[in-house]
């Protein structure tokens, strides 16, 4: 089953809130979470939504409401999560290359922390000894993920403590009495192949023998969802079966009670998002038809930054014969959303909707070209609620201080 927002509702929301506008379908997030819960052993598996995909406070509140935990990428995200109502023990902070001071702040807030460098592990052990259990992020030297920008576990990656330095972690436990409770990896985003997760898990099962106090194996996020029509995502049900079995076997043969943690971002919110834009200008050239929309890389940078594909639907002329278009933005740069995309004939004023606009879309938006960030709307129980107002001129001027000259 896939849950989606009816076209008429999208059109109504564009009329009510203006364009460009991000819309998020709450029940779709819930459906994705249910899929995870059904696929994995509930007793031994916990999910932490990777908040950096989409941090609107209402999304965080909704994630809390459906019973999912949260994983943060900065201490500010930790503060947002607490503000959204998560209790500290349901908040995880997976840091990378942050200052020791920020780790201390997270510790004072009482959340779970995954530390990703020997340097910070050493400082943490020296300061807190055995008193505060933490996780360590390992770099398993596995190449995974949709493209190099979103691959994080390979041998040239900045993330984590490289596998070949595990002995140094063990030495730190001896010298500082550090309490390591979690071994963590996150090898990338858009990992379709279940075998990649199994490979990562095996790496951690190998080394966990050396860590008698470890209770949790955290396999990060990175589940792939379909972006193109008919594209396959990670087979979550198969992944669930394989992970459940691996943990059951390991725990039985080694007499341990290791638990599995995951940090899905895209999987939970990508497909819940719709980005509604309006066609400002059509330009018909000898070689290309350009459809220029009322947004650009300032609001949705994934196509330009990662070469990401977002399916586009023509909301207001869907039955027309298809033509090919370059869908382009209104920013003073070449900001192609799509090249040679076959779409039902596009007219000025038509609404084009970008799908999979829940994860890393609004979240990466900026005010480049001094444009306003879009509004955000939650679609829940067949009703729309505004959850972020569109910026206005005050937002552009906020924090700017007038100099004297
Ligand atoms: C970004 C991130 C995730 C989520 O990745 P998705 O591809 O969105 O699932 C999970 N864990 C960590 C540590 C991350 O940095």
> What is the per-residue pLDDT across 92-115, written as a single tens digit (0 to 9) for each?
999 899 999 999 999 999 999 999
Q: What is the pTM of this model?
A: 0.97
**CB neighbours (10 Å) of residue 99?**
11
Mean pLDDT of 395-399: 97
Taking residues 175-186, report their average pLDDT: 97
Q: By three-state DSSP, how is residue 389 classified? A: coil
Q: Is the pLDDT of residue 146 over 80?
A: no
Asked whether 50 and 265 are in contact (CB, 8 A), the reply is: yes
Pairing status of strand 312-314 against strand 351-354:
antiparallel
Average pLDDT over residues 242-265: 97
Residue 151: the pLDDT is 84
* Amino acid 156: pLDDT: 86
Q: CB of 193 within 8 A of CB of 224?
A: no
| Ligand 1 pocket test target in 47, 95, 189 with most atoms within 8 Å of CB | 189
Return the sign of the alpha-carbon dihedral for residues 24, 26, 30, 33: positive
Nearest residue by C-alpha to atom 3 in ligand 1: 221
Contact 385/357 with Cβ under 8 angstroms?
A: no
pLDDT value of position 345: 98
Q: Give helix 57-65 / helix 26-39 axis angle, nearest 10°.
A: 40
Q: How far apart are CA 251 and CA 152, in angstroms?
A: 28
With beta carbons less than 8 A apart as the criterion, state whether 284 and 321 touch. Answer: no
CA of 300 to the centre of ligand 1 (A): 19
pLDDT digits (tens, 9 = 90+) for 224-240: 999 999 999 999 999 99
What is residue 328's predicted lDDT score, i.e. its pLDDT?
98
pLDDT tens string 62-99 = 999 999 999 999 999 999 999 999 999 999 999 899 99
Q: What angle do CA 240, 200, 138 make, to 5 degrees?
A: 130
The average pLDDT across 269-295 equals 96
72 tagged catalytic: no
Of residues 256, 228, 223, the one with CA closest to residue 239: 223
Read off the tokens for 236: 């979550």
Cα-only R_g, the chain: 23
pLDDT tens digits for 314-331?
999 999 999 999 999 999
> What distance in angstroms lies between residue 190's CA and the mean position of ligand 1's atoms?
10
Give me the pLDDT at residue 154, please. Answer: 87
CA of 271 to the centre of ligand 1 (A): 16
Residue 4 CA to residue 9 CA, distance in Å, equals 10
Average pLDDT over residues 226-255: 96
Ligand 1, atom 10, residue with closest C-alpha: 221
pLDDT in tens, 340-390: 999 999 999 999 999 999 999 999 999 999 999 999 999 999 999 999 999
Q: Which atom of ligand 1 is nearest to the CA of 190?
A: 7
What's the whole-number mean pLDDT along residues 274-291?
96
Whether omega before 20 lies within 30 degrees of 0, making that bond cis, reads yes
Q: What length does the chain have?
A: 405
Among residues 68, 72, 332, 361, the one annotated as catalytic is: 332
Tokens of 131: 């008193």
**313 three-class SS:** strand
C-beta neighbour count of 110 within 10 angstroms: 14
Say yes or no to pLDDT of 37 above 60. yes
Q: What is the structure's pLDDT at 65? A: 98
Atom of ligand 1 nearest to the CA of 220: 11
Phi, psi values for residue 370, rounded to 5°: 50, 40
> What number does the ligand 1 atom closest to the CA of 263 have?
10
Q: What residue ranges line ligand 1, CB within 6 angstroms? A: 50, 52-53, 71, 73, 94, 186, 189, 220-223, 263-267, 359
Q: Of all atoms in ligand 1, which is nearest to the CA of residue 188?
A: 7
Using the predicted structure, report yes or no on whether residue 1 has a pLDDT greater than 70: no
Ligand 1 centroid–CA 263 distance in Å is: 6
Mean pLDDT of the chain: 96
Structure tokens given for 166? 């595990």
pLDDT above 70 covers what percent of the chain? 100
Specify the higher pLDDT residue, 149 or 355. Answer: 355
Residue 228's contacts (CB-CB under 8 Å, 6 or more residues apart) are: 309, 311
Res. 219 pLDDT band, cuts 50 70 90: very high
| Of residues 99 and 147, more confidently modeled | 99
- Angle at CA 358, nearest 5°, toward 357 and 362? 80
pLDDT of residue 321: 98
pLDDT average, residue stretch 279-286: 95
pLDDT, residue 104, reads: 98
- Position 149 scores a pLDDT of 82
Six-digit token string for 56: 């609107």
* Coil/strand/helix, residue 394: helix
In three-state secondary structure terms, 72 is strand
Tell me how far CA of residue 231 lies from CA of 27, 298, 310, 380, in angstroms: 22, 27, 12, 27
Give, in order, the Cα–Cα distances in Å from 136 to each of 129, 172, 210: 15, 12, 13
How many CA within 13 A on the CB side of residue 6?
A: 8
The strand pairing partners of 278, in sequence order, are 351
- Report how far apart the first and last C-alpha atoms of the chain are (Å, whole number): 63
C-beta atoms surrounding 52 within 10 Å: 19
Q: How many CB atoms lie within 10 A of CB 250?
A: 17
């Amino acid at each position: 089953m896939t849950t989606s927002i009816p076209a008429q509702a999208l059109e109504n929301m564009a009329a009510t809130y203006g364009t460009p506008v991000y819309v998020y379908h709450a029940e779709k997030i819930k459906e994705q979470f249910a899929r995870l819960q059904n696929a994995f052993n509930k007793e031994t598996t916990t999910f932490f939504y990777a908040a950096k995909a989409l941090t609107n406070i209402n999304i965080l509140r909704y994630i809390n409401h459906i019973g999912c935990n949260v994983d943060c990428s900065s201490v500010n995200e930790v503060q947002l999560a607490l503000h959204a109502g998560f209790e500290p023990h349901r908040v995880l902070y997976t840091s990378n290359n942050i200052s020791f001071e920020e780790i201390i702040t997270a510790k004072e807030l009482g959340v779970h922390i995954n530390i990703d460098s020997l340097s910070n592990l050493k400082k943490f052990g020296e300061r807190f000894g055995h008193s505060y259990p933490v996780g360590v992020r390992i770099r398993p030297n596995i190449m995974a993920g949709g493209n190099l920008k979103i691959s994080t576990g390979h041998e040239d990656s900045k993330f984590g403590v490289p596998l070949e330095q595990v002995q140094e972690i063990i030495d730190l436990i001896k010298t500082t009495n550090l309490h390591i409770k979690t071994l963590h990896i996150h090898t990338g985003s858009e990992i379709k192949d279940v075998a990649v997760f199994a490979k990562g898990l095996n790496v951690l099962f190998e080394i966990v023998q050396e860590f008698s106090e470890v209770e949790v194996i955290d396999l990060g996020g990175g589940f792939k969802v379909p972006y193109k029509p008919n594209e396959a995502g990670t087979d979550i049900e198969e992944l669930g079966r394989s992970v459940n079995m691996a943990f059951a076997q390991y725990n039985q043969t080694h007499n341990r009670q290791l638990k599995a943690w995951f940090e899905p971002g895209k999987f939970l919110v990508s497909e819940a998002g719709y980005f509604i834009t309006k066609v400002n200008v059509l330009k018909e050239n000898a070689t290309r038809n350009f459809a220029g929309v009322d947004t650009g890389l300032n609001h949705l940078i994934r196509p330009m930054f990662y070469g990401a594909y977002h399916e586009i639907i023509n909301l207001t002329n869907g039955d027309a014969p298809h033509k090919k278009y370059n869908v382009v933005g209104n920013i003073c740069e070449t900001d192609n959303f799509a090249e040679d995309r076959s779409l039902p004939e596009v007219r000025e004023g038509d609404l084009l909707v970008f799908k999979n606009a829940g994860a890393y879309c609004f979240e990466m938006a900026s005010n480049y070209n001094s444009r306003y960030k879009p509004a955000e709307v939650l679609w829940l129980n067949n009703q729309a609620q505004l959850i972020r107002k569109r910026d206005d001129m005050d937002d552009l001027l906020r924090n700017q201080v007038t100099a004297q000259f």
